[in-house]
Amino acid sequence: MLINVNPLLSPEVLSLLRSMGHGDRFVLSDANFPSYSHASKLYRMDGLTLPQAAEAILSVFPLDSFIPHPVQRMEIDGKPDEINEIHQDIIDTVHKVSGPNWNVGSIERQKFYIEAKKTMAVITTSDSRPYGCFIFTKGVLKPDGSVWIV
């Protein structure tokens, strides 16, 4: 066991998050995302909702302040500006854990699939709410351990 590490983070997920560098990305997905066909590496957080997984991940994961949207959600088909329940839950989780100034952007669904294949990994959850797929981009830590904000 480790001190102050969320116990929902498996050794494998911690290893992934630690090995990522600035600008590296991963997908956090719902249970319906085609994870196996889109992941260069696949990690599972079975039994967890997306907000539970995101809260655990964001407890150790710095977001990228060099880009406008370090978290991007999959858009709802034909309704790109609509925020559904799971989108709002992740927006709220980002603000709760990382701070209120982080912006969550969006990507059209088919473009999301293309971008997902370019990420380091997919972390899939048991959440079955539709359009519950997000891309997270890693930021930079300063020597004192705080997140670099530009």
pLDDT tens digits for range 61-120: 999 999 999 999 999 999 999 999 999 999 999 999 999 999 999 999 999 999 999 999
SS3 readout for the chain: CCCCCCCCCCHHHHHHHHHCCCCCEEEEECCCCCHHHHCCCEEEECCCCHHHHHHHHHCCCCECCCCCCCEEEECECCECCCCCHHHHHHHHHHHHHHCCCCCEEEECHHHHHHHHCCCCEEEEECCCCCCCCEEEEECCECCCCCECCC
Catalytic residue, candidates 22, 38, 69, 95: 22
pLDDT in the model for residue 64 = 98
Task: Give yes or no: 69 in active site.
Answer: no
pLDDT band at 150 (very low <50, low <70, confident <90, very high): confident
Q: Which residues pair with 136 in a beta bridge?
A: 26, 71
pTM: 0.97
The CA distance from 26 to 41, in Å, is 10
